[in-house]
Amino acid sequence: MGPQNNIIGKGISVSPGIIEGPVKIVETPEDVDNINAGDIMVVKSSDPLFALGVMSSAGLICEIGGALTHICIVSMEMGIPCIARAENITESLKDGMIITLNASEGLVYSG
């Protein structure tokens, strides 16, 4: 990460990997249908249907929970980079914003 990248969120690493992409905040099961390949999915809660979004996305940030939160387990199974317990992360993110998720370290950077 260069000096231009600020850390905007932290969490615990669930499934490793580093990816860059646009944010897609998913609040309802319907939002899952609007995920594009390469999006980084951000959720506040867990719902089994969110798994279909995980399948299409490049990464997952979960505001709550931990390694045993079901959506996190699904991301681990599918090998999608994922962090959990990224408290209040949705306050710093907006749909379409480009971020870098370093899921190996549990860090979220702007840009």
Partner 1 sequence: MHPKDWFIVGSINLVEDFKTSILEISERDGKTTWPIDLNSISHLFIGEFDKELLQDIEKMEYKGHAKYNIGQAFVTPQRIIRLLIPFVQGLSTLGLSRELRREKVEYLLSLVHELKHGDPSNRDGKNIVLSPDELNNIIGPSWLSESDKQSSLLVHKLCGILWAYVETLFFKTHGLVREFHGPYTLPGYDGNFLFRDFVCLKPTELWEESSALPFSRARIVAAYDQLDMSVDIYNHVSIPEGRTFIESLKSYYVECDGKILEPSEIDSLCKDLSTVMRSIHKKVESLEWQKRAEKYADIFWYSKKQLRDILEEDWAVPEAVRQQIQHGEISTKQKQISQRELQIMMKLSF
Give the interface with partner 1 as residue ranges (CB under 8 A).
Answer: 13, 15-17, 29, 46-52, 54-55, 65-70, 72-79, 104
The three-state secondary structure class of 12 is strand
Closest approach of partner 1 to the CB of residue 37, in Å: 13
Residue among 32 and 108 whose Cβ is closer to partner 1: 32
Euclidean distance between CA atoms 15 and 94, whole angstroms: 23
Residue among 3 and 37 whose Cβ is closer to partner 1: 37
Closest approach of partner 1 to the CB of residue 51, in Å: 3
C-alpha closest to that of 60 among 89, 30, 29:
89
Q: Which residues contact 47 (CB under 8 A, 6 or more apart)?
A: 29, 71
Residue among 21 and 106 whose Cβ is closer to partner 1: 106
Closest approach of partner 1 to the CB of residue 14, in Å: 10
Euclidean distance between CA atoms 9 and 85, whole angstroms: 10
